[in-house]
Structure 1
């Protein structure tokens, strides 16, 4: 029974001393700690037998995910070379991008960026669109499109997909509960963590979901 596993990896910590909601804005890069997180997760991927046969690597096109992907491959590709495998090169896919957010560019929790700011209350009270312009259903739809396309394209293989907290958790929640709506404060997707989802290639049935946090000590 052929099955494909998509390993979703969240990017490392971002350098953001002003606590700006950066969303899809350019110019937000990994912090030194974030780079350390990506290296830790890359070493985890390079050493674990279950990750040795990765067929392809995809990434959100944003700065922080590109940088995380490059660091992961710095760790993974030498290990592949020792096994006589060709190096992996990243592909960028807009469907893995961060959720659109109407608070972009504002300081989190201050002034116009505060959830209790009068004009923000309507955004917070709508559970299907809590604080951003893109609904959970829209996020789940684009991530699902990516996943099922790759299951068909890479049968019985493993794929790395470097993305963001909201897309990763929204898709996982959809698979586990049947709906993408969730409490954003209860997500289980740490920085540089690995959420692995295995799907049967024929039926698309979920065969397993596992989670690892290799950078927890960084």
Structure 2
């Protein structure tokens, strides 16, 4: 049996002093803590005999994921070069971008422009089936299309994919339960965490899912 593993990494903490829902807005970068989180995950990957065999690194086009991927690529490429292997370069893909959200730019909290105003909350009818933007089913479908393409392209190998909480968890939930709909408050996708999904390269069946949280103690 030939297996392909896709290691989905959530980006690190973002600098967001105004507490905005940034969604796909440009200009949101890793904070100092977020950079340290990404570095911790990068070291974890580089030190792992399995993860450091990854042959490609992808990320969503947003700044926070590209910056996280850069902190992963640096130590990974050091290991690869020590083995006489070619350095990897980051490739971006729109299919693993953050979910579309009509609340983007809203401030978390109360007052003018805040998310919890009554006119905004009218859109929140069901936490299991978002009514304020892209549905979990749409999110999982685009991630699945990306994943199946990469399972075929990198049969028998490992790759790293830096994405966002909602795409990673919606896809995992679909694979584990048959449906992507879920309660967002129950996600297990910490900042800079790794969700490793192993597929049979021929049948595309899921062989296993593992979860790691290398940055849990980073402050």
Query: What is the TM-score when the length of structure 2 is the normalising length?
Result: 0.95
Is 1:114–2:111 an aligned residue pair?
A: no
Q: Is the 8 Å Cα contact of residues 103 and 113 (structure 1) preserved in structure 2?
A: no
Cross-structure match for 2:27: 27
Q: Is the 8 Å Cα contact of residues 103 and 131 (structure 1) preserved in structure 2?
A: no
CA distance in structure 1 between the partners assigned to 2:101 and 2:131 by the alignment? 7
Cross-structure match for 2:153: 153
* Cα shift readout 1:16-67 (whole Å, capped 9, x = no counterpart): 0110000000010000000000000000000011112211111000000011
Unaligned runs of 5+ in 1: none
Give the 5 Å matches for 1:54-69. Answer: 54-69=54-69
Unaligned runs of 5+ in 2: none
3-state SS of paired residue (2:123): helix
CA distance in structure 2 between the partners assigned to 1:118 and 1:208 by the alignment? 43
Structure 1's consecutive aligned runs of 4 or more residues displaced over 6 angstroms after TM superposition are none
Aligned residues: 217
Q: Is the 8 Å Cα contact of residues 58 and 91 (structure 1) preserved in structure 2?
A: yes
CA distance in structure 1 between the partners assigned to 2:177 and 2:26 by the alignment? 34
3-state SS of paired residue (1:52): helix
Cross-structure match for 1:95: 95
Q: Is the 8 Å Cα contact of residues 123 and 129 (structure 1) preserved in structure 2?
A: no
Cα displacement (A) at 1:127: 4.1
Cα displacement (A) at 1:125: 1.2
* Cα shift readout 1:77-125 (whole Å, capped 9, x = no counterpart): 111111111111010000010001111011013244334x322334211
Q: Is the 8 Å Cα contact of residues 9 and 161 (structure 2) preserved in structure 1?
A: yes
Cross-structure match for 2:184: 184
